[in-house]
């Protein structure tokens, strides 16, 4: 079994050697004290950021000391996805001395870097954070810490220490296969702007790749910025169907906008799933309250939280190869035809 790399905690001496100034001067700069020239200050700060050095706020600066906290860094508390992840983490840490402490980034790489800097300065016993994409400064800090770092929600990419999640490329391919098996061919996608949503970008890439292998091109797409809501789903569904009236299926990047699209389409009298199929992503509890159940993918959110917490708490070993890959589950609901039904299939 592969083992995590052993990391020695960085010290003032490391920053001193990298910047070419004394440890005392480094200390003054990092504590923002003393008379230090702008050039020297810049040299020290650049060296510290490159190394990923974070000052120690506890125990008089003893670099080896840690507290019984697990730093959990997520993009949002408003998103319905992340409370389930936190629930899984909390449940698994409940019988240990460890306590999760939450940092929120608002989907901003710069904010993530700031949150990590502050949280790591308290020397947590582990780090759990969403996603594989981080700024250079954030990655340097995470590579420098001598505690478990578990990236969650995604496994499609390089990991710092280890990752627990699903393959979003595979989730996209899986959904494409289900849609094609049900006989739909004129397919549209509705979702967030891809630069801000790496996991949705990967799902779309997998989705389009699987369609292309079957000789089907994505017929239309509608992107938006900002938060997801039922109202946004209604608006985008109306917009894409006004532009492409012959679409047979709409794949949404998440359940919230998918639910809004479903409500709008029913109000307009669309035959669902006969003439128009719909699917979302995540499998959130919100779907239980819809008049018919939206097809979706269970992204294994609580399982991901639990398994990440187990690794940090030492309840299970670091996964072989650094990645614990959970399989996404397709949930057909009532908005997609049964496979092979053949209703409305277009001959290409």
3-state secondary structure of 326: coil
Predicted pLDDT at 348? 36
Q: 2 or 44: whose pLDDT is higher? A: 44
Residues contacting residue 278 through CB under 8 Å, at least 6 positions apart: 249, 250, 252, 258, 261, 262, 265, 272, 294, 295, 335, 336
Question: Is 2's pLDDT higher than 50?
Answer: no
Q: Which residues does residue 311 pair with via DSSP β-bridges, in sequence order?
A: none
Backbone angles phi, psi at 74, to 5 degrees: -130, 160
Per-residue model confidence as pLDDT tens digits over 289-307: 899 999 999 999 999 999 9
Rounded distance between C-alpha atoms, residue 255 and residue 230, angstroms: 9
Predicted pLDDT at 7? 64
3-state secondary structure of 113: helix
> What is the Cα 68 distance to its own chain's centre?
25
Hey, what domains does the chain have and what are their CATH numbers? 12-22+58-166+302-327 (3.40.50.2300), 168-299 (3.40.50.2300)
Per-residue model confidence as pLDDT tens digits over 51-68: 667 777 665 544 456 789
Rounded distance between C-alpha atoms, residue 220 and residue 202, angstroms: 17
Predicted pLDDT at 57? 62
Q: 273 or 47: whose pLDDT is higher? A: 273
How many CA atoms does the CB half-sphere of 243 hold within 13 Å? Answer: 11
In the sheet where 277-279 sits, what is the strand order?
A: 220-224, 187-192, 249-252, 277-279
Q: Please check whether residue 240 is in contact with residue 189, taking contact to mean a CB–CB distance below 8 angstroms.
A: no
Predicted pLDDT at 1? 38
Per-residue model confidence as pLDDT tens digits over 106-138: 889 999 999 999 999 888 999 999 999 999 999
Lowest mean pLDDT, pick from 34-43, 91-100, 187-196, 228-237: 34-43
For the chain, what is the radius of gyration of the CA atoms?
Answer: 24
Q: Tell me what percent of the residues of the chain surpass a pLDDT of 70.
A: 87
Kind plus residue range of the DSSP H or E element containing 104 = strand 99-104
Predicted pLDDT at 345? 42
Backbone angles phi, psi at 85, to 5 degrees: -60, -45
Q: Please check whether residue 25 is in contact with residue 42, taking contact to mean a CB–CB distance below 8 angstroms.
A: no
Question: Is 328's pLDDT higher than 60?
Answer: yes
Report cis status (omega within 30 of 0) of the bond before 57: no
Question: Is 15's pLDDT higher than 70?
Answer: no
Position 333 confidence tier, pLDDT thresholds 50, 70, 90: very high
The chain-wide mean pLDDT, for the chain, equals: 88
Question: Is 183's pLDDT higher than 70?
Answer: yes
Question: Is 216's pLDDT higher than 90?
Answer: yes
Q: Please check whether residue 240 is in contact with residue 205, taking contact to mean a CB–CB distance below 8 angstroms.
A: no
């Amino acid at each position: 079994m592969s083992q995590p790399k052993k990391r020695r905690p960085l010290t003032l001496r490391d920053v001193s050697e990298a910047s070419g100034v004394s440890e005392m001067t480094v200390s003054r700069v990092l504590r923002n004290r003393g008379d230090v020239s702008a050039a020297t200050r810049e040299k020290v700060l650049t060296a510290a950021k490159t190394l990923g050095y974070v000052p120690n706020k506890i125990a008089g600066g003893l670099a080896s000391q840690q507290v019984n906290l697990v730093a959990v860094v997520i993009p949002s508390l408003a998103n319905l996805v992340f409370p389930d992840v936190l629930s899984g983490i909390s449940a698994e840490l409940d019988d240990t001395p460890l306590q999760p402490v939450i940092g929120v980034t608002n989907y901003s790489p710069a904010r993530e870097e700031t949150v990590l800097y502050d949280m790591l300065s308290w020397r947590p016993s582990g780090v759990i954070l969403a996603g594989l994409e981080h700024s250079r400064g954030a990655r340097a800090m995470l590579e420098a810490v001598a505690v478990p770092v578990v990236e969650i929600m995604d496994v499609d990419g390089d990991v710092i220490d280890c990752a627990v999640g699903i393959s979003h490329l595979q989730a996209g391919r899986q959904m494409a296969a289900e849609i094609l098996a049900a006989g739909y061919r004129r397919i549209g996608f509705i979702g967030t702007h891809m630069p801000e949503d790496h996991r949705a970008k990967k799902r779309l890439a997998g989705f389009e790749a699987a369609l292309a292998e079957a000789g089907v091109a994505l017929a239309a797409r509608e992107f938006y910025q900002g938060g997801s809501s039922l109202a946004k789903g209604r608006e985008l569904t109306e917009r894409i169907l006004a532009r492409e009236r012959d679409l047979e299926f709409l794949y949404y990047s998440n359940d919230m906008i998918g639910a809004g699209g479903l409500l709008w389409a029913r109000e307009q009298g669309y035959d669902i799933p006969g003439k128009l199929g719909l699917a979302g992503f995540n499998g959130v509890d919100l779907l239980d309250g819809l008049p018919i159940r939206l097809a979706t993918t269970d992204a294994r959110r609580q399982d991901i939280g639990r398994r990440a917490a187990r690794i940090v708490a030492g309840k299970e070993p670091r996964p072989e190869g650094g990645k614990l890959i959970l399989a996404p589950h397709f949930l057909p609901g009532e908005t997609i035809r049964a496979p092979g039904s053949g209703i409305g299939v277009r001959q290409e």
